[in-house]
Every structure is written in C-alpha cells, then in structure tokens.
Amino acid sequence: MIAVAAAVVLAAAQSPSREIVFLGTSLTAGLGLDPSQAYPALVQRKLDSLRAPYRAVNAGVSGETSAGALRRLDWVLKDRPAILVVETGANDGLRGLDADTTEANLVAIVRRARAADPGIRIVLAGMEAPPNFGARYTVRFRAIFRDVAARERVQLIPFLLAKVGGVDSLNQADGIHPNVRGERIVADNVWRVLAPLLRGGGALAPNP
C-alpha cells in the first residue's frame, strides 16, 4: 500500500483531476444518511489524503434495478470517467428478478462502457440475494457477479456489504442500509479493490 500511495501522490503532480463514477443504488446514494457519510464520499477522503488526482462522483439512485442502471449509463459516461464502479443488482435480488436478465444487464453495462472508452477501468461490486427466494436462487445470484467479472475481465469487490450485511449494529433500522459505522467498512471494502487501480495502469484481470 505504501508503493500505491507514493505512485498516487506522484500522479497527482502530473495529472488533472479525473472522475471515479459510482453507478449504484440506494446503497451508493447513502439512503438515510447525509451524502457526506455515504461510501463514495468516504472514498473521496481517502483520495484526498493521498492527494490523488481523482474526484469521486456519487451516481446512486434509490430503488434502481440493473435495467435502470443500463438505461442511464450513457448519461453517467458523458464526462468520460477514468474508473467506473458498478454497484447494481441489489434491487433485482430483493425483487427476485430473473438472474439471467440481471447478468445480461451487467454484461451490457461493462461492454457499453468499454465501447464508449476502451481505456476505462471498471470495478464490479458483488451483491447477495435475500434467502426468501430459496437456496437455488441465492447461489445463482451470488455467482452472477463472479462470473461476469471473470468473463469480462473487470475487477471484483466480492461482496460490497462484507462484514456489514446482517449485522444489526452496522445497519439502519431497515436492516438493509448501512449506518455511519457500516459505511466506513463498506468504503474500506471498496478501497481495497480500487486503490491498486489508482497507479494509472491497474490490470483489468479479475481478482484471484
């Protein structure tokens, strides 16, 4: 991490600020919290601490499905972000939507982003489905993100809400959206995957 920090500080002196866009749902928007407490804002603080030449843009929309994220992707890409973090599918899982359709939407998001800018770096945030649709759906849904990341060669956050999901003390009263403490952990989950890309030439191969 020291080497990453040094490289990022050097890049800051050489490059103008570029965007890291977080395309997401209410989990990205920070539903129930001040925007400054949502994980994209916390990632911005980490960037600022390294004097990294990046600006985190929160493009989260509450209630949005993967189909909705795909529909507004062109608008999200209009400023040609350097990095796109894709957090979508959680509402698909909550509604028990067809897993094949969710997977197809994620693939379309990745491919359309690359068609718009072949140099864009993409991070996919893994999600989990609630257990009420049965074990088969839960397993299939979890596999979507791993499979898309491997096939499309994008970086994967295995589970955005790792160490937060299902922990009462880290979530708001709805049991779904992280509270302030939970958001800090989510930001760390994102940062572990995002930080290596800030060197400017991060590999697009999926995480081992």
The residues carrying an active-site annotation are 26, 174, 177
Is 79 within 8 Å of 19 (Cβ atoms)? yes
Strand order in the sheet with 83-86: 54-60, 18-24, 83-86, 121-125, 155-157
Is 125 within 8 Å of 166 (Cβ atoms)? no
Phi, psi of 38 (to 5 degrees): -75, 155
HEC string of 40-101? HHHHHHHHHHCCCCEEEEEEECCCCCHHHHHHCHHHHCCCCCCEEEECCCHHHHHHCCCHHH
Task: For tokens 């991070």, name the residue.
Answer: 123
